[in-house]
Chain A
Amino acid sequence: QVQLQESGPGLVKPSQTLSLTCTVSGDSISSGSYYWSWIRQPAGKGLEWIGRVFTSGSTKYNPSLKSRVTISVDTSKNQFSLKLSSVTAADTAVYYCARVGASRTFDIWGQGTMVTVSS
């Protein structure tokens, strides 16, 4: 079955860039059937959509984060990535990658990775 796995540093210093990768198994990103997305959740709080990428590399971002976010795809590695620049403590959260299924549902999720922004 399709599985997603996030990876990347668990600790990032303020003002630096947060970088995460999501590795997809059991499906090919190149199939062009889905969008691929990042979502985050601060401790004890709700879910926030960050953005999505398509196989072609086309992207769509949450307007509230757009100026700091870059999402890219590497079809050769079956991965997609998130970069969030100029991070502050407010960016501390569990970051999830997810597949965007039909009707704009997030039908498959990674287990999530905790990222703390601290000096």
Chain B
Amino acid sequence: QSVLTQPPSVSGAPGQRVTISCTGSSSNIGAGYDVHWYQQLPGTAPKLLIYDNTNRPSGVPDRFSGSRSGTSASLAITGLQAEDEADYYCQSYDSSLSAYVFGTGTKVTVL
């Protein structure tokens, strides 16, 4: 029962820009807790992609960017590449649940 809602899928042609939304509530994103994003390539463990809403760990291409506003956050991928085809998850903390929470996940398909 994820408390962060993401679209099940998004798609785009190579080179295009796609965005993934992550909608929360006043007890998680809206309460000011940071949002983080993970990329999960097929058959592998998730990998931290964006932390603290907008920051990229070393080695993550600047094609990936994050933002947060109100009770929502977004991940943008510009210049979409075939290797970006993966599942993406947002993550935050929920004060009502006293738990780390993940988004429902979004599958990105490169057409």
Which residues of A are interface residues toward B (Cβ below 8 A)?
37, 46-49, 52, 60, 62-64, 96, 101-107, 109-112
Contact = CB atoms under 8 A, between A and B. Distances in A.
B72 to A, nearest CB: 18
B47 interface: yes
Contacts of B47: 109
A77 B89 CA distance: 32
A79 to B, nearest CB: 18
Given A104-B93, A106-B91, A107-B51, A47 B102 contact: yes
Interface residues of B, number: 27
A63 B36 contact: no
B97 A63 contact: yes
Contacts, number: 63
Contact of B45 (A64, A101, A110): A110
Given A46-B2, A46-B89, A60-B98, A107 B104 contact: no
B102 A103 contact: no
A109 B45 contact: yes
Q: Count chain A CB atoms within 10 A of each CB in B1, B46, B92 and give the residue with the most.
A: B46
Nearest to B96: A63
Contacts of B1: 64
Interface in B31-85: 33-34, 36, 38, 44-48, 51-52, 57
Interface in B84-111: 89, 91-93, 97-105
B34 A62 contact: no
Nearest to B4: A46
Give 10 closest A-B pairs by Cβ, nearest first: A109-B45, A49-B100, A47-B102, A46-B105, A105-B51, A105-B36, A103-B34, A103-B52, A62-B99, A107-B48
Contacts of B103: 46
Contacts of B98: 60, 63
A105 B51 CA distance: 7
B51 A48 contact: no
B93 A63 contact: no
Contacts of B44: 111
